[in-house]
Chains A and B, each alone.
Chain A
Amino acid sequence: MKNILTTSNLNIGYKSKKTVVTIAENLNLNLSSGKLISLIGANGIGKSTLLRTITGIQHPLSGNVYLNDINISTYKPLDLAQNLSLVLTEKLPPSNLSVFELVALGRQPYTNWVGTLTDTDIEKVQEALRLTQIENLAHKKHYEISDGQLQKVLIARALAQDTPLIILDEPTTHLDLLHKVSLFKLLKKLTQETQKCILFSTHDIDLAIQLSDEMIIMTPENVVQDEPCNLISNGSFASLFKDEHIIFDGEKGKFIVT
């Protein structure tokens, strides 16, 4: 098991001209290969800021993010793209892209100046389609398929990018329970079969507890990373929501409304 991304004494937040807004301090996170790691926290707690910071889009207030033991701020865009791929929540702009073409765009960090696909590239794309079980969709246009299928296509695109780390921002929003579970299981399978590290943010805490190898919980007080069973036994979930009507039942491993 290899450390892929680590943070050391990381402080995240926003800097404007006069004020510094700190969102979380002193983060020492560790993402290692073959692990499915979920990031949870209430709305507005700063999950997106954390993801933006560890993907190098936003600068930390202080501290460092290391990707493969190299400071992420020193990566060139192309090198970063070969080590880290993203699945975002934003809607895709209108286009005529087929599923195959969309997944093949993941090969951009490796292709020549016009983006010609070599045999290796096509192989990687086909492997990504196979791993996500969407080979039958390959020639459909991306606007013809369902939300659940599109999410798989975007994951396949990230797989084709062939990076040791994949980060997904709320991949299960807009999906029904059945598709949520199948997506979580797919992510789990991918970490086991490819030894990649997958980090994703989610609001589906019950499912995340059951399927993640590790969880990162963000609360106003602190940010903790551990295995789900340890987090349950030390009561970390209890402080997640500041509301007397929501209580965490440690035995069942789920939240209950009183």
Chain B
Amino acid sequence: MANKKRNTILFVVLSLGLLLMFFASISLGSVTIPLKDVFESLTGGHATKSAWEYIIINYRLPKAITAVLVGTGLSISGLLMQTLFRNPLAGPYVLGLSSGASLGVAFVILGAGFLPSFLRVIALSSYGIVIASTFGSTLVLLLVLVVSQRLRDTMAILIVGLMFGSFTTAIVSVLTYFSTAEQLQKFTFWSMGSLGNLSWSTILILTFCVGIGLLLSAKSIKPLNALLLGENYAKSMGLNFKQARLIIIFATSILSGSITAFAGPIAFVGLAVPHIAKLVFQTSNHTILFWSTLFFGSIIMLFCDIVSQMPGFDVTLPINAITSIIGAPVVIWLLVRKRNFR
């Protein structure tokens, strides 16, 4: 069929695009490193300067891998939510999952002063932050779910997400009164989002969490397709709805929770990328959407990362600002062209 051929071509283009972006992200940065030395460092050889090798292996490569993990994870979690809530505007950021995670992290970083000193060390370790953040996002997702069950109106769900965002901001501003300048700085940096602060060992934890999330998402492909006809039809086709919903919720929580913990709240990727995938592939079939969202997510995240530290600039712009600058117009454009909202 013509469609199949078109999809194959698209996937080949996307794979090449991903490779190119990945390599570009490693090659470009504030320090100019010749391409030959980039290759040398990546393939295990020695670069002309050992500092270059160090930058590539311990800074740029982990950052590129983080970008791929963050991009795929957030995008897939957005795809799952859009189908589960039957709402094209759903996404980890819009539904307040990132806010929930922020709140968890805010409590840990800013509220650590209230804890006895031995607990403070545990809470401020990277594990403490991950747990607080995952806990926060799961809590919000459950809240959203309760609301979505009571109110069939999908708009109400979005409003709850927005309200939770305001609520978080309010709580955070209260907490700032009681925290030190140092704590405040730590939280502010976290909330601007960053792909570059991860060590190899934390990347391993993130890979593990994202891996579980993606496996569960892949398992949900068939239920998600059934849910395209609504809950009742899905049930009539033999779907164990409660179990399927639990798996989808767990997958989205672990994806957005772990990513937000390590990279900070990153806006719009989760909402915009699935739409780009749907628009390009013109399908609702989740087998295709899963893979295309995966590719688009990592390509776009790598692109945002390159933009955030343009060669020649000494400073790194916060990644959250870049994704918002790119993502918000996409969402508005989608809203205006409502026919594509499927």
B97 within 8 A of A: no
Question: Given A94-B341, A115-B221, is A105 in contact with B228 using a C-beta cutoff of 8 Å?
Answer: yes
Selecting from B12-20, B128-136, B197-205, B231-239, the interface stretch reads B231-239
Which residues of chain B have C-beta atoms less than 8 A from A88's C-beta? Answer: 230, 232-233, 236
Most chain B CB within 10 A, of A77, A79, A101, is at A77
Please tell me if the beta carbons of A92 and B239 are within 8 angstroms of each other in the complex: no
B284 within 8 A of A: yes
A186 within 8 A of B: no
Question: Given A96-B342, A102-B229, is A108 in contact with B285 using a C-beta cutoff of 8 Å?
Answer: no
Please tell me if the beta carbons of B228 and A161 are within 8 angstroms of each other in the complex: no
Which residues of chain B have C-beta atoms less than 8 A from A84's C-beta? Answer: 236
Which residues of chain A have C-beta atoms less than 8 A from B283's C-beta? Answer: 96, 101
Please tell me if the beta carbons of A96 and B278 are within 8 angstroms of each other in the complex: yes
Taking residues whose C-beta sits less than 8 angstroms from the other chain, chain B's interface range is 20 to 34
Please tell me if the beta carbons of A92 and B230 are within 8 angstroms of each other in the complex: yes
20 A-B pairs besides A55-B236, A81-B237, A97-B284 with CB distance below 8 A are A77-B235, A77-B240, A81-B236, A84-B236, A88-B232, A92-B229, A92-B230, A95-B284, A96-B283, A96-B284, A101-B283, A101-B284, A105-B225, A105-B226, A108-B225, A108-B237, A113-B219, A113-B222, A114-B221, A114-B222
Q: Which 9 A-B pairs have the closest CB atoms?
A: A81-B238, A96-B284, A78-B238, A93-B86, A95-B284, A115-B222, A109-B238, A86-B236, A108-B237
Can you list 11 A-B pairs, Cβ within 8 angstroms, ordered by A?
A: A77-B238, A86-B233, A92-B228, A96-B284, A97-B228, A102-B229, A106-B237, A108-B225, A109-B237, A114-B287, A161-B237
Interface residues, chain A, CB within 8 Å of chain B?
55, 57, 77-82, 84-86, 88, 90, 92-97, 101-102, 105-106, 108-109, 111, 113-115, 143, 161
Interface residues, chain B, CB within 8 Å of chain A?
86, 88, 218-219, 221-222, 225-230, 232-233, 235-240, 278, 282-285, 287, 341-342
